[in-house]
Structure formats: structure tokens, C-alpha cells
């Protein structure tokens, strides 16, 4: 059995996991919300900027139901809940670009990668 070729992924600084589970969709992270998240990331330049590059990924469930929309920024181990689009602007500016978590939106801090 031959293995498929290994995929290529562009280097990135942070991985943004966006929950698209039923509860988060009901709380606002529906298809339109995901599109807006993508537009905001693109407008901020963090999808292309090699130093600040963010890799966004949709995740079926992050396991923090009824607190959505939920997002997690890795390798920082920072989990956000109840994220509105206005909150997401703050997350982009303060965390994804500035490197500091938006403390009033954080509900959990997991292990940080070395």
C-alpha cells in the first residue's frame, strides 16, 4: 500500500480553533459568522503576514457547550467564550497581533507549548 504524499502547510505562528458545534452555531458562529471571521483575519493581514500568520480551523466541537461562540488560540493555550464579532476585533488586535490575551473573554488557560 502506498501512502499519499505529505501535504504542505505554510508556516504559521498561531492556530485559531473556531468551534462550529451546534451550540456555538446557535450562539452566532453560523456560516455568516465564519465568513466574517475570515474577512476580519484577512483585513488584519494575519492570514498572509509571515511573522504573524494565523491558521484558522473550524472544529466540530471544543467541548465548552452553552458558552459560545468558543475559540481557542494555540500554542498559547488561551480559550475564549461568548465571542461576538466586536470581541473578535479585540482578539485580533490584542492577542493575534499584540501577543496579549483578552483577559475579560478568557475562560480557560491550557498548557502552553514550549
The pLDDT, as a whole number, for residue 100 is 96
What CATH architecture does domain 20-109 belong to? 3-Layer(aba) Sandwich (3.40)
How does DSSP assign 23-39, residue by residue?
A: HHHHTT-SHHHHHHHHH
What φ, ψ does residue 57 adopt, rounded to 5°?
A: -140, 140
Task: Read off the pLDDT of residues 2-47 as tens digits, 9 standing for 90 and up.
Answer: 999 999 988 999 999 999 999 989 888 999 999 999 999 999 999 9
Confidence of residue 113 (pLDDT cuts 50, 70, 90): low
The pTM assigned to this predicted structure is 0.91
Query: 28: burial class by Cβ within 10 Å (0-12, 13-18, 19+)?
Result: middle
Q: Cell for 75?
A: 500554542
Query: What is the pLDDT, as a whole number, of residue 49?
Result: 79
Q: Where are the domains of the chain?
A: 20-109
pLDDT tens for residues 77-96? 999 999 999 999 999 999 99
Band (70; pLDDT cuts 50, 70, 90): very high
- List all residues 6 or more positions away from 96 whose beta carbon is below 8 Å from its beta carbon: 14, 16, 41, 44, 46, 52, 54, 73
Determine the pLDDT at residue 114: 52
Amino acid at each position: 500500500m502506498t501512502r499519499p504524499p505529505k501535504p504542505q502547510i505554510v508556516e504559521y505562528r498561531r492556530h485559531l480553533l473556531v468551534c462550529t458545534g451546534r451550540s456555538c452555531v446557535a450562539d452566532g458562529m453560523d456560516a455568516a459568522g465564519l465568513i466574517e471571521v475570515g474577512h476580519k483575519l484577512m483585513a488584519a493581514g494575519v492570514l498572509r503576514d509571515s511573522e504573524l500568520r494565523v491558521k484558522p480551523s473550524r472544529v466540530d466541537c471544543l467541548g465548552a457547550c452553552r458558552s459560545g461562540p468558543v475559540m481557542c488560540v494555540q500554542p498559547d493555550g488561551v480559550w475564549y467564550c461568548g465571542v461576538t464579532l466586536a470581541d473578535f476585533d479585540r482578539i485580533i488586535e490584542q492577542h493575534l497581533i499584540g501577543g496579549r490575551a483578552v483577559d475579560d473573554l478568557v475562560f480557560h488557560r491550557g498548557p502552553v507549548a514550549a
